[in-house]
């Protein structure tokens, strides 16, 4: 491997990806494993951790799974201490765990709003805060926050999610501002509409053979004219975790097929 290509290697690095039993987190962790990293992940229940461990094993990946609620500061501090003891100091953190509640704002309770903000914004603060001291001691670190197009755009029924993801974009910039001098880079990835099991019903063909209305809407809004695949996030995630991005800090890389650049098709 050339010296240049070595910059993209994650050999010898320990990567913690939160909520990575399945979906986007699992895809990113799988790419990190292929690039040479040791994989650590958490989930909120033992059964989810077990499912995740089985899925990694099926791919030939030796992963370490922990049960932890990322909104609970004591649990997070204990998990990070355990990882440092059992696996090593965390070099790469991906704040992937997240939730969404699609409820019109005036029908949403303050408690529901707080729950979304707690998982999508407070948790990345809590987990980042837990790993940064050891990154400072080690002299390097990478933090990647899974942001969203809702870090930039609003849409019906996602007031809490958009508020949290907009806040996460600014937390990303602030971590970069505060800890950049310690050779810690904090960036975000903003996925577009990604084809996952959760979005499968929105992509099913209608009885008359036509696309689902939401599917039509997304295709029309995306210059790439397709949904993203979880694999589309792997290259950007590896880049932002690697030495190749050492002078990239406080940036959100939108992997959206061009949606944010596009005003949309003119009606016929």
Write the DSSP assignment of 171-202 as a string of letters. HHHHHHHHHGGGTEEEEEEEE-SB--GGGGGG
pTM for this predicted structure: 0.97
Outline where the chain has alpha helix (H). 3-6, 23-34, 46-58, 73-86, 110-117, 123-138, 159-179, 213-221, 234-241
From 161, 179, 193, 254, active-site residue:
161
Sequential pLDDT tens for the chain (268 residues): 899 999 999 999 999 999 999 999 999 999 999 999 999 999 999 999 999 999 999 999 999 999 999 999 999 999 999 999 999 999 999 999 999 999 999 999 999 999 999 999 999 999 999 999 999 999 999 999 999 999 999 999 999 999 999 999 999 999 999 999 999 999 999 999 999 887 888 899 999 999 999 999 999 999 999 999 999 999 999 999 999 999 999 999 999 999 999 998 887 7
Task: Check: CB of residue 94 under 8 Å from CB of residue 146.
Answer: yes
Task: Check: CB of residue 189 under 8 Å from CB of residue 253.
Answer: yes
Dist. CA 134–CA 118, nearest whole Å = 24
Torsion angle, alpha carbons of 22, 24, 27, 30, to 10: -70
Burial label for 134, CB within 10 Å (0-12, 13-18, 19+), is middle
Dist. CA 40–CA 21, nearest whole Å = 10
Active site residue 161: yes
Helix axes 234-241, 23-34, angle to 10 degrees: 60
Q: How many residues does the chain have?
A: 268
Residue 107 backbone class (left: φ over 0; alpha: ψ -120 to 50; beta: rest): alpha
DSSP designation for 88: -
């Amino acid at each position: 491997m050339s010296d240049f290509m070595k910059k993209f290697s994650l050999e010898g690095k320990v990567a913690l990806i939160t909520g990575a039993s399945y979906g986007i987190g699992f895809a990113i962790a799988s790419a990190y494993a292929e690039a040479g990293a040791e994989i650590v992940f958490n989930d909120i229940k033992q059964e989810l951790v077990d499912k995740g461990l089985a899925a990694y094993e099926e791919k030939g990946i030796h992963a370490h799974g922990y049960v932890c609620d990322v909104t609970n500061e004591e649990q997070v501090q204990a998990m990070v201490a355990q990882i440092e003891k059992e696996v090593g100091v965390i070099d790469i953190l991906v704040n992937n765990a997240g939730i969404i509640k699609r409820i019109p704002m005036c029908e949403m309770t303050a408690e529901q709003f707080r729950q979304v903000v707690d998982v999508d914004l407070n948790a990345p603060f809590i987990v980042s805060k837990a790993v940064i001291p050891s990154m400072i001691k080690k002299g390097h670190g990478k933090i990647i926050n899974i942001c969203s197009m809702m870090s930039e755009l609003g849409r019906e029924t996602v007031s809490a999610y958009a508020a949290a993801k907009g806040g996460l974009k600014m937390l990303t910039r602030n971590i970069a501002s505060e800890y950049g001098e310690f050779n810690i880079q904090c960036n975000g990835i903003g996925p577009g509409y990604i084809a996952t099991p959760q979005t499968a019903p929105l992509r099913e063909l209608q009885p008359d053979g036509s696309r689902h209305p939401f599917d039509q809407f997304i295709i029309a809004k995306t210059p790439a004219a397709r949904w993203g695949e979880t694999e589309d996030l792997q290259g950007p995630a590896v880049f932002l975790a690697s030495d190749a991005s050492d002078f990239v800090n406080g940036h959100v890389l939108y992997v959206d097929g061009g949606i944010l650049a596009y005003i949309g098709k003119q009606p016929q």
